[in-house]
Amino acid sequence: MPGKIRSAIVLAAVLLPAAVFAAAGEGSTTGRQLYDLVMRIINFVILFGVLIYFLRKPARNFIENSVETIRKLITDADETQKIAEAKMKEAEEKLAGLSREVEELMEHAREESEAEKARVLSEAEEAVEKLKREASQAIQQELKKSQEELRNEVAEIAVTIAREIIQENIQEKDHTRFIAEYLEKLEGSQQ
């Protein structure tokens, strides 16, 4: 098929100018202009044919390479999109997992907080009870000490009062008699 097209182009290039020149006649301006136009068209067709002949394979290779590159880019883009979608899905799953984990951590923190609160309250109650016991014991000791001091003071006052009464009421002869009775008791107990 390409051989027939080439033959037709060569035949047209040879016969067309001769036909145009014969139809216009020699020396006519219109014929000359028509001849120039046809020659330009023939030159264009020849140039176009030569360009097609030499550039056909490089152009075909360029177009095929471009198409292949575009296909590869589309395939790569599809793969990249699939990878991105998979990563997005994975990230969403992780996010959902993190939400559950955060909720579990919050619940655990609440439980620990309640346990710590109960422990602190228990320790505070124990400390209050201990302070009450210690205060009660201290009060009891102070009460006993005060009672002892009061007894001692009362005894001293009683002794002082008794001494004053005895000194006022006992005379020298009673005093001598008490000493004698005491000495007799001592002698009786030694035997």
CA atoms of 76 and 84, how far apart (whole Å): 12
pTM to 2 decimal places? 0.34
Tens-digit pLDDT profile for residues 35-91 = 888 889 889 988 988 888 888 888 888 889 999 999 999 999 999 999 999 999 988
Q: What three-state secondary structure class fits 170?
A: coil
Tell me, what amino acid is at 81?
Q
Domain of 179 in residue numbering reads as 2-172+175-187
Distance CA 136, CA 128 (A): 12
Secondary structure letter of residue 27 according to DSSP:
T
